[in-house]
Structure 1
Amino acid sequence: MKPSTHADRESNWNKHVAPDWSDREIGAIRKADIQQWVAEKYDSGTGPSTLETSLQNLRGALNHAVDSGLLKASPATGIRLPRATPRAQHILTVPQVEQLARTVDYLPAIVRFLAYTGLRFGEASALTVRDIDPVSHRITVNKAYSDVQGRLVLGETKNYETRTLRYPTALDADLGPLLTDRPGGELVFRSLELKPLRHSNYGRRSFRPAVKAIRHSDPEFPDLTLHDLRHTAASLAIASGATPPAVQRMLGHSSAAFTLRVYTGLFDDDLESVAVKMDARISSGLRADRTKNDPHSDCSE
């Protein structure tokens, strides 16, 4: 388990699980007790994601009891969770990305970089000069920073996989000064103190103020977060004809099925475009077939 995941699980256990379950005898816990607990936690305002982690923690403890021979079966099997409502995805157009980059007071390059590559912020902040090849326009993503209880920890990517992707030439002007005449081991994107960029600090000090400033004069501008730049990159890729497996590899998702779930609305739009193109191709083929089999037919109809 990654340190950040371990810290999140431990915090969740201490706050949401231990107060209700640590003093209970495992043999006296019934499935109905756990289902009622889930319902009560949800009714009291616990979010679906937090509740899912809480159930995973409780289920893990009970599964361990089964593996140790202390229980014949886990009462946490088959517990139903409330359906999570997907968070709205705020997607920028290219002019909006450029407007945002012009507005941030520090490091506009990372705004464009995230919006045009789809890297997670922790992956981008961990990139070193040697990870980017300006000749082939290739990026090697093999590590990421994560915030573990206020401490930045450099570790593996979210899915423990290295991936290589090509970045657009539109980023050359931004990346050139950050790569030229610098040692290969130096971080590409750094704070004013020349330290690794923190997601929370950059978001609070530069990104969110820029978004608010734009929205003050243009209320239609999306009220987005840093993570929404990743959605913007996915949208641009899909609009450019990328398939679900291609978007999966670009974003470093665990599977193409997950990519489809997250961006099903964007792929629906893509399928609409495909249907229109197929309709035109079929109509063209039908006209050609009629002409071939009926020389006297009027092709202009």
Structure 2
Amino acid sequence: MGTIKPYETAAGPRYRARYRKPDNTQTDKRGFKTKKEAQLFLASVEVSKARGEYFDPKDAMQTVGDLGPSWLENKQHSLKPSSYAPLATAWRVYVEPKWGSTPIGRIRPSAVEDWIRELSTGRAVTARQRSNQSGKPKSASVVIRAVGVLSGILERAKRDGRIPSNPAQKATNLPRKVSMKPRRYLTHAEVFRFASFAPDFTREVQLVVLSYTGIRWGESVGLRVRDVNFLRRRLQIAQTATEVEGVLHVGPPKSWEERGVPLPDFLLDPLSKLCTGKGPNDLVFAGPGGGFMMRPDTSEGRASWFLTALRRAELDRLTPHDLKHTAASLAVSAGANVKALQRMLGHKSAAMTLDTYADLFDDDLDSVATRLDEHAAASNVGKVWAHAPQRGSRSA
């Protein structure tokens, strides 16, 4: 099981336990005050080896800063640039300044929860803020993402057997994401009024397409002439052009899968005019010189053609993504079912569509009750039952 040897220190006698790791290499641990402590330690090592739960304490001395870059590289390899960029920012701004020099074996769940509180109250050490400063409280999304990065690094260390558990995995004080912004759905009339104030025909058609198909801004920007099927009235969403930190990245759609999106008849003629004279690989909604169109800046207080059109149409501030919500609303009002809406919007599941747009289906609950009432009345059973004499308890 191992050997125990005493040795002398200035503070008195101590014991050293020598044992073999699962790979059969020998190691030791020093500093036990009694022989019994050393024996209990050796016993725990044997049990952990038998269960396949052994971890080398020396491995736990690696820091978060040692393991973070490799974890990020793997994420960069597997994620799209738009998904990877927020993780890289969370690591650089929040995780590395706090935990970079901390050995992974010394991180305790309580310390992680203290960090969550500090982030939420604006008192956490970050790349932009020192420990003696008080800054702006971080949003729930920022806090959850930062904790997720730390947890991901520690989970990988746990799988490698460097630590026995992930101290960031079950934090009890993570904030909840609560949207304070009410979702805005444009009406048919508002869509066309908004589009009429676009600076040119290309962007006018683009706004209407966004509002009636639910495709994302990047998907509209990446749309090529060959992707418009006029006979079947379909847009084939095969790629997206997503702007990340001022750089456009062209790749597959968000779900990694192509999908077909239905086109209303009234959009066929305007799209045909935009495609006339272009080759199959040319962009439908091309920017200057035929290149990709950049996303308009819709931040508060900024100036862009998108915000100017909204202002002239006397509409509240929206973002291009809000037009996806409008498309969902118009589709539901036209009678689209959840499964069709899921495919149209490119959601992973119908459950995700329902969770996102539950408010749009409230009227369905009323219609269900109405139809049940109609069927019960047609059979005459419900009416007879409702007007039956008062029912008391039945005798046995």
TM-score, structure 2 normalization? 0.68
Distance 1:222 1:272, change over 3 A: farther
1:177 aligns with 2:269: no
Which of residues 199, 205, 219 is equivalent to 2:304? Answer: 205
CA deviations 1:253-284 (Å, max 9, x no partner) are 11111111110111122322343344344434
What residue in structure 1 maps to residue 148 of structure 2?
56
The residue aligned with 1:25 is 103
**Could you tell me whether the CA contact under 8 Å between 1:134 and 1:172 is conserved in 2?**
yes
Question: For residue 355 of structure 2, what is the aligned residue in structure 1?
Answer: 261
| Distance apart, 1:285 and its partner CA | 4.2
Residue 288 of structure 1, CA deviation: 12
Pairing 1:1-301 to 2, within 5 Å after superposition: 1-44=79-122, 45-80=137-172, 81-86=174-179, 87-106=181-200, 107-200=203-296, 205-215=304-314, 221-286=315-380
One-letter amino acid matched to 2:119: K
Work out the CA distance in 2 between the residues paired with 1:255 and 1:4: 21
Query: Aligned partner of 2:176: which letter?
Result: R
Deviations 1:144-197 (A, max 9, x none): 111122110101111111111211112123212112231000010011332211
Task: Give the aligned residue type for 2:187.
Answer: T
- Once the two structures are overlaid, the 10-residue window that deviates more, 165-174 or 87-96, is 165-174
Q: 1:70 to 1:197 in 2, by over 3 A?
A: same
Code of the aligned partner of 1:41: L
Cα separation, 2, equivalents of 1:201 and 1:128: 23
CA distance in 1 between counterparts of 2:159 and 2:254 reads 28
* Cα distance in 2, alignment partners of residues 153 and 187 from structure 1: 15
SS of equivalent to 1:165? strand
Larger Rg: 2
Alpha-carbon distance in 2 for matches of 1:60, 1:288: 57
Q: Is the 8 A contact 2:377 2:383 kept in 1?
A: no
Identity across matched positions, percent: 33
User: What is the distance in 2 between the residues matched to 1:287 and 1:148?
Assistant: 62
**Superposition misfits of 4+ residues, deviation over 6 angstroms:** 287-290
Closer, same or farther: CA 114–285 of 1 in aligned 2, 3 Å: farther
For structure 2, list consecutive stretches of 5 or more residues without a partner in the other structure.
1-78, 123-136, 385-396
Cα distance in 2, alignment partners of residues 202 and 139 from structure 1: 26
Contact 1:239–1:270 at 8 Å: present in 2 too?
no
| Alignment deviations for residues 12-64 of structure 1 (CA, whole Å, 9 cap, x no partner) | 21012111111212111111111121122122221112222111110111112
Q: Which amino acid aligns with 1:206?
A: W
Q: CA deviation at 1:251?
A: 0.4
Query: What secondary structure is seen at the aligned counterpart in 2 of 1:193?
Result: helix
Measured in 2, the distance between the counterparts of 1:57 and 1:85 equals 21
Q: Give the 3-state SS of the residue equivalent to 1:69 in structure 2.
A: coil
Partner of 2:4: none
Instruction: Give the structure with the larger helix fraction.
Output: 1
1:99-125 deviations in whole A, cap 9, x for unaligned?
000112231001100000000000111
> Relative contact order (C-alpha < 8 Å, sep 6+): which is higher?
1
Q: CA deviation at 1:6?
A: 2.0
Q: Which amino acid aligns with 2:147?
A: L
Unaligned 5+ residue runs, structure 1?
Answer: 216-220, 291-301
- Aligned AA (2:103): E
Q: Distance in 2 between matches of 1:65 and 1:3?
A: 25
Contact in 1 for aligned 2:109/2:167 (Cα 8 Å):
yes
- Give the direction of change, closer, same or farther, for the CA distance of 1:40–1:111 in structure 2 (3 Å limit): same
SS of residue in 1 equivalent to 2:218: helix
- How many equivalent residue pairs? 285
